[in-house]
Every structure is written in structure tokens, then in C-alpha cells.
Structure 1
Amino acid sequence: MGSITENLDTYLYQCVAGGPAAPTVKSAEGLYFTLEDGQKVLDATGGAAVSAIGHGNKTVRDAIIRQLEMVTYAHPGYFSNSPARELADLLVMSTGGQLSRACILGSGSEAVEAAMKLAYQYFAEMTPESPRLNYISRRGSWHGCTIGALSVGDIKSRTTLFEPLLLKNVSKVSPCHPWRDMTKGESVEAYVARLQQELEDEFQRLGPETVCAFIVEPMVGTALGCVVALPGYLRAMKEVCDRHGALIIFDEIMCGLGRTGAQHAWMHDGVVPDIQTVGKVLGGGYAPISAMLVHDRVIRGLKEGSGSFVHAQTYQAQPLTCIAALATQQYILENNLIENSRCMGEYLGKELHRNLFDHPLVGDIRGRGLFWGVELTKDKVTKEPWDPRLGLAKRIRSRGLEKGYDICIFSATGAADGWNGDQFLLAPPYIVQKQDVDEIVRRVVKVINSVWNDIEPLVRQHPLHSGE
């Protein structure tokens, strides 16, 4: 036996990496991982919706190597660098000039923290005698794993342990989740109006002058499984914020930069945020990088005050990560991959519905672009989740990685109420073609059928209910 320290280190690694059975990746190219034992696994999720241009892209790799030969780090407090400036310009340009500044950061959680700080600073400088302190977010959301980001998020399995540490100035309203929450006979317009009134009521409960910002995912990823905002919803939410002078923050860490088939998810609705976060696809898996995009309204407020954002991080705007992100985004643009995301996403959605909608495990299939979720329920009408003791999401992920199935599927839980409910996500790289989508669906169906064959006898002999 090793020492206690060695055993603890192993334990911690297993917790982070997914357990002792987690396979080791040896190499990756295009849509496929090659494991140490030679198994080739189709990457149908891009990790957590990260790998937009696939693995081993030579254009990005060469750009990184060139940057390695010049400069890899220069402290952002002392120096600027060309890759960071070019990336910021590209991001601003990608909004059609609707947002005017970009701040280059590290992880998605860091970007959310920065957005929350910026929103507070904006009001602290505008009204220093009574700065706005309250944030409103939504149930069934996910914004990151740092304390501020955890506070505005709502995946129960990830937040409950840390409840004593979370911010007390955050409240939550309902998500826009028509499949679960629209009442029978309720129109889209009536449902959106009901959600708008709920947000208005929360402003009034807190005191409209105390609300700093409302933070929302225009398309929810992990927490609910690819739920798309209904037409008119984002505009209705922004109207409430604008009327009361609060900011609206769009968290597009997971759904942005082409994932939904548009450059930014908010472009589907034409609703421009005050602050936006992007990540994941930004570096495409070639670098850990995120960014915060800022409306000129907020920039003007800072200019009228201190003139700067009180925020700094050691690896902010690092040249090496910036060049990786810049090369990734340029590759996406030059190869028209956002349009491919839209077209192949439509095809993926149709094939998922055709092959899985009537499956006994499946409750709902939803998505947009190359971002699709499948929620598993016992009954499509009652929407009762499967008993959590079955561990369906984990079974699906694990089965996919077995030889003979050979597909990476992103699994998650809590879609029903934060605790219960199983869902899985598909978010393949934007380079997929029709034959790749066919292969993804074929392998997913094979996995789902195999898992159903495992549990059907148990379900038939001992009907399980999620509340038992």
C-alpha cells in the first residue's frame, strides 16, 4: 500500500477524472479519440460542447507553434499583445458592433464572476450612495463552479453542499421551459407574459432600485438539457430590466459562438444584452479561455466614473490562449462552419426524433443547431422522471464508452426538479457532415436500446417511481 498522502491524491484524482475506470486518451483527430488500448471513440459531445472544429486541427496547431516561438506570457497589467487585441476585435465585430468591448479571461466561471462584478461596479459608480446589490437568476440554470457563479446557478447536486457559502443577495425565478411548465391550453404569448410578470413581481419584492442584474442562459445546457427560449421571452425579460434600470447578462458560455446555428444565441431573437459571457467554443478545446462582451452603455458608465474595471487575473489575455482562440474562430468563419452547424443541427434533430421519440425511455427531444438534449421520463404525459436509483444518465455515458458502442455522450441529471431526472446532450463539432450525423445517431440508438434491455426486466417486475 502507498502512503496516506498517495492514497488521498489518487482518491482526489479519481473524483475529478470520473473514477478509476475512466479511460485514458492517447490521441485525437477530427471526430475521434484513440484510447490507450487502441479503441476509437466518436466524440459526439465535444467534451462539454467545447470542440467546435474537431481535434488535431493543423491550422490551429501551427498558429500555437508560431506563437510559442515568439511570446507565451506577458503580464496583462504591464503589456498588451497582438493576439489578445485581434481576438477582442473579432469578438466585437461578431456582434455586428452591438457590443463594444471584449475582456479576455480564463474559464467560463471566471467570466461569470467578472460579469457579476462589472454589473455591480457599474451601479456603484453611477449611484455610490445606494449601489444595487441584488441579482436575479433562474431555477434550472448553470453558470459555473466558483462561489459567485454557483450562487446564481441551480444544479442541486453541485450547489447544496456549499449553500452556507453562497451569496445571500441572489434570488431565482422560473426558467422558460415550455415542455414542463406551460399549462394545458396556454398559448406561447400567455406563458411568456406569465414569466414576465413573475420577474416583475420579483423586482417589486426586492425593490426595483436594488436589483443589479438578471442573468440568463438564452439556451440552457447542462441543467435542463438544451431548452430553447420561446420567441418573445428574452425580449420580455429585457423589457422588465430596462424599465427598472437593471442590467441583463446573457450567459452564452455553453450555447454561444455558433453552437445554436447563429453567431450568438441572442441573435435568434434580436435581443442585445448589456453584458455577455462566451467560452468553451471560443478556444475550441485548444486553450482554456473565455471572454466577457460589454455594451457601450456599461462602458460609458465606467468612463464617467473611475475609467476602469477593477478586475485582474494572472492569465488574463495570455498570448498563447488568445492565438489558439483567434485561430479557432477564424477557421470557423473561413469555412462557414456556423452555417454548417445550423444545417447539420436541423438534420440531427430530425434524425433523433425519427429514431428515438417513441422509445420507452425517452420523454422529450429538444435543441437548436448542434446542441441537442434528450430528457428521459417514464411517461411523456405525466413527465415523471425515472427512479434515480437506476442511474440512467450514468449508464448511458458508461455504455457509450464500452467497446462495440464507442461513442462519447454527455450525461447529466436533475432536469425534472434539480435533483431528479436524467438527460443526455449531444454537441458534435461543427465540422460534422451528414454521414457523421447518421453514425452518431446510429450509435446513440444502440446505446439507448442496450440500456433499456438492461433495465426493462427490473421495471416490469418492480415498477419504480421516482418518489419511492
Structure 2
Amino acid sequence: MGSLGNTSKLAEPALFYQNVYESSFPHVASASGLYITLEDGREVLDATGGAAVSAIGHGNQRVNAAIIKQLSKFTYAHPGYFQNRVSHQLADILVESTGGKLARACLIGSGSEAVETAMKLARQYFLEQDPNSPRLHFISRQNSWHGCTLGALSVGDLKSRREPFLELLPNNVSQVSACHPYREQRPDETVEEYVARLAAELEEEFQRVGPGNVCAFVAETMVGTALGCVTALPGYFRAIREVCDRHGALLILDEVMCGLGRTGTMHAWEQEGIVPDIQAVGKGLGAGYATISAILIHQRVIDGLKAGSASFQHGQTYQCHPLNVVAALEVQRVILEEGLVHNAHKMGLLLGSSLRNAFANHPHVGQVRGRGLFWCIEFVADPVTKKPLDPKLNVAKRMRLRGLEKGYEICLFSSTGCADGWKGDHFMLSPPFTITAQDVEEIVSRTLRVVNSVFDEVSLQPAK
């Protein structure tokens, strides 16, 4: 018998992530700052922070030391029986970061869990007022992504990940159009007219479902994976907030990907002139040092619970897990003390202008869009008509894989479906908030090399 953990003699790998066959992805040896070192010695520039996760870069010694210190104290105590101080400290920092506009923080696990928890809390809020409340319908937006668990999947609309499981999803969700000016705003339509049209569409959906049946409207404040860093037009979220308020429904904003400094302010909703009832945050919370997410809750929702049972019927084994919490707490202290949200804003302006300059005349770049350190390049067959590329070309995937090849060494977060849910190639750049002007230059240079390399070998003849 081989030694424990020795899988060299297995016909197929024991580990199952997504593909049932052996992954061709390289193995990581170490990581520091902006770079991931592979076992073959190559250093890959992590221009995506994983999936917009590594907000302060890799290998931060302050965070590592905080985790080690907690390890020497205790690693787990069930949150249903015991409290821990670091959870209170993290919740305080999160609430303070909203300027007191949100009142409580519930600490949980993944981004999908945060969305699920937000949906459950919204439903219970109405049940506390009326045990027979009919408000169990959720309205979300097309071409969105809220996570892979069933509740989160039901409000999302990343079709390639959603379609296989449609029969499993609850039927209390409907969707309206996203605010996607690049593809959906009519040529003769002003910003105000487009926003009014979207608000009217939401109003019509409320009326179709029955205004008293709607529990909440769920949206990404800035759309991530599904559309690629799409920012709402000015006035859109204020109009949406007005529709929700008119009918007494809650507003849930998913900032798992775009929140906690990624867009150049601590919360993306700060730039929209509104405050949500419930907000989900995640990736940048623990910045890869911990598996943690949270929901931030408005006082009106807390008051709704107080008026009833005063207890949220939700609990998970690893809520408030001290190792996760202490890592996230130190991450947030680093971001605050080192002024990294301001740097994300400043470097984001430079990254955006540099990308636009680099790809201004590219024949297959439809749009460079984003905010803060959250940027996307969408590729098209024709920039004038915005016709998407033939999906058979696999352009976005090719670019991601090319970036990992020798001589390119850059992470690009690729996705598809930004044109109609199925067609449309794009990739995103979401580097750590710690980047410098020199890092921006290197990111743009390597990105341009990858894009040119792929298009040099891809035939753009129409598919037969």
C-alpha cells in the first residue's frame, strides 16, 4: 500500500472540482503581493485577485500573524452557545463603514450563503408583521449572478450555470431587464428616458405579480460575472428604490463581488444615492484569507424582528467562526489604515484610462467599462453592430488559458453570455487595492499581448 495521501498510482485524480478528468491547470507553490508563483517557477500576475477576492494581495504578514495568534487561543466555539469578541469587532467595523446607514451585520460563509440568508431574512421580516403574509415573491434582473446554491441560483440568470437545474428551482421568482446601456439603451433614448423605461418595467412586474405579494427586489449594484462590470446609469437605483418603497417591498443589493472598496467607495451603493434594506458582501471581506461573507441589515428590518419574535430562524455551524472572522477583521483594518479604498479609486481611474487607450482602435473590442478596480473588456465581431463573436471560437476562454501560458503569465477572469445570456465574450480585471501605477502599466501590457495573440490565431470567418 502507498503512503496516506499518495495519489500518484491512481488511474484518475481523487479530487473533484468541476471537470471529471485531470485538470491541466498549473499547481501553485506560493503567492506574495500581486504574484502567484507556480511549481515550475513562473510568476503569474494576479490581475483578477482570483474572482475579485484578493483585495490586499497575497501573503500579507499582518493578516497571517492575526490568524496565527487566534490559533493559539481557540479555533471554534459554536455560535449558538458562545460569543467571541472578534465577531463583535468585525460587525462594528462593517456597520461603521456604512456611516450608520445600516445597523447590524450577520457573519456567515460564502457569497451564495449571504444571498440565501438575505432572502430568508426578507421573508421573515414580513412574517413577523403578518404570519399569513403573502409576500414571498422575489423580483430580480436578467443577466445577473447571485451564487450557485438553489435560492441564489433562482434569483440569478447566468444561463449556462442555471439552465441544468431549472426544475429544481423555486417558482417564486421573476425577472426584469438589467440596466445595460451598452446593449439595451435605444439610440434615440436619453438616460432619463431609459431609466424611466426600466422603472416602468419593474412597476409593471409588481402589478402583474400583485404588489402585496412581492417580498424584495434583488440586484447587483454593479453587475459582475454575467455582464462584466456593468455600472447602472445615474438615477436608476433611485428610481428602483422608489418603486420598492411605493409597494412596501425590500431592496436587497448583492455586493459580494463589487463591494467593500472594489468600486472606489467602501460600498457601491454610496455612488448611487440610495441605501439598501439588506446588503450582501463577501469576496473582499476576507480577501482570500478566510471563507467568510456577511449581510448588512437596515434598522427597519431589525425593528421588524423586534416587533415579533426578535429571533431570526437561521443558524449555521460556521457562523462567526473565529479564524475566518479574525482574518477578515485584520483585512478590513489594513484596508482602512492604509487608505486602500482611496487607492482603488485613484488607480482605478488610471487603469480605466490605460485600458481604453490601449484598446481604442482594436477591431474586436466592443467596450471597455468599469469603475474603481473592477474593469471589463467585451469582445465583438463588429464594434459598429455590436454583433457577438461566434461562441464556437471560445475567445474568452482562450484568453484566460493563454494568460496562464509561458511568456504571458497573467490571470484574466473570463466569462460568456454578456450579449444575450449565451453569446458574448468578455473578461474582467479586478486587481488588489494595493496596486501602483507601475503595476497598472504591467497589467495593461500583458493583457494587450494576450488579446493580440488570441486574435492573431482565431479565424473570424462566419460560422456555417
AA in 2 matched with 1:122: Y
Q: Which residue of 1 aligns with 2:94?
A: 91
**Offset of residue 361 of structure 1:** 2.3
1:53 to 29, 51, 56: 56
Query: What amino acid is aligned across from residue 19 of structure 2 in structure 1?
Result: C
1:129 is displaced (CA, Å) by 2.3
Q: Distance in 2 between matches of 1:271 and 1:9?
A: 49
2:34 is aligned to 31
Letter in 1 for 2:462: L
Match of 2:400 in 1: 397
1:215 maps onto 2:218 in alignment:
yes
- Give the AA of the match of 1:372: W
**Shift in CA distance, 19/227, structure 1 to aligned 2, threshold 3 Å:** farther
Residue 283 of structure 1 corresponds to 286
* Aligned position for 1:416: 419
Q: Give, in whole Å, the separation in 2 of the partners of 1:337 and 1:13.
A: 33
Tell me if structure 2 keeps the 8 A contact 1:120–1:131: no
Write the letter of the residue equivalent to 1:54.
G
2:376 pairs, out of 364, 373, 377, with 373
TM-score, normalization by structure 2: 0.97
Aligned counterparts of 2:256 and 2:462: Cα–Cα separation in 1 = 36
Q: Secondary structure at the match of 2:382?
A: coil
Deviation of 1:270 after TM superposition, in Å, equals 2.0
For residues 115-157 of structure 1, give each alpha carbon's deviation from its aligned partner in whole angstroms, at most 9, with x where no partner exists.
0000000111112223301000000100000000000000111
Percentage identity across paired residues of the two chains = 62
Whichever structure has more helix as a proportion of its residues is 1
What's the CA shift string for 1:268-288, capped at 9, x where partnerless?
A: 022000000000000000001
Q: Residue 12 of structure 1 aligns to which amino acid in structure 2? A: F
CA shift digits 1:56-97 (9 cap, x unpaired): 000100111100011111100001101111000110000000
Per the alignment, do residues 8 and 313 of structure 1 end up closer, same or farther by CA in structure 2, a change over 3 Å counting? Answer: farther
1:155 is matched with 158
Q: Provide the C-alpha distance between the structure 2 equivalents of 1:14 and 1:247, rounded to a whole number of angstroms.
A: 35
1:414 alignment partner AA:
G
Residue 315 of structure 2 aligns with an amino acid whose one-letter code is A
**Number of the residue aligned with 2:3:** none
Of residues 234, 245, 248 in structure 2, which corresponds to 1:245? 248
- Map of 1:182 onto structure 2: 185
Kindly indicate whether residue 69 of structure 2 is the aligned counterpart of residue 66 of structure 1. yes
Separation of aligned partners in 2, 1:190 and 1:405: 44
Query: Aligned partners of 1:253, 1:102: CA distance in 2, in Å?
Result: 14
Does the aligned pair in 2 maintain the 1:357–1:363 contact within 8 Å? no
Any runs of at least 4 consecutive aligned residues in structure 1 with deviations exceeding 6 A, and if so which? none
Deviation at 1:10, TM superposition (A): 4.3
TM-score (norm 1): 0.96
Deviation at 1:11, TM superposition (A): 7.5
Give 1:191's aligned residue. Answer: 194
Match of 2:462 among 458, 461, 464: 464
Is 1:434 matched up with 2:425? no
Q: 2:239 aligns with which of 236, 240, 247?
A: 236
Which of 257, 260, 263 is residue 260 of structure 1 equivalent to? Answer: 263
The alpha-carbon deviation at position 260 of structure 1 amounts to 0.1
Equivalent residue letter for 1:317: C
Which secondary structure state, in structure 2, belongs to the residue aligned with residue 167 of structure 1?
coil
Aligned length: 458
In structure 1, the residue corresponding to 2:161 is in which secondary structure? helix
